Amino acid sequence: MSYCCPADPEKKKEWEEKMLQEVDFLDNDIKKASEVFSALGHPIRLKIAYFLSQRDHCVCELIFKLNERQNLVSHHLAIMKNCGIVEAYNSSKWRFYRLKPEFANILQLVKQIEACKASAGEKKNKNM
């Protein structure tokens, strides 16, 4: 369909249905992306994502690397788990966490965003 705002009632109905499908799809994607960005919107959770992008970790390793209390690390892991960023599994008596495969490149995205911000800042400074 390559027309916009059709006047013909039959085409308009078809057009409106297509627009609503696109909005529903977009809303679901935006909601999920918003949840993920919110979950990663804390420095501790970004650090956890970085560590888990390197390899699976047990909670005690994350506590040591983050230099934070166990309850705080567990709290942040729960947020990330509820959002679907990490998953947990048991091995022997230890509970391990891993970054879900679909988030393996999340830190690359963060680095790209930072590079874009730096580039935009350089351009802004040149124009002053």
Q: What is the pLDDT of residues 11-54, one digit of tens each?
A: 888 888 888 877 776 777 788 888 888 898 899 999 999 999 99
Contact at 8 Å (CB) between 85 and 100?
yes
Question: Could you give the CA distance from residue 100 to residue 84 in angstroms, rounded to a whole number?
Answer: 8
Window from 6-15, 52-61, 72-81, 113-122 with minimum mean pLDDT: 113-122
Amino acid at site 83: C
Kindly report the average pLDDT of the chain as a whole number.
87
Contact at 8 Å (CB) between 44 and 72?
yes
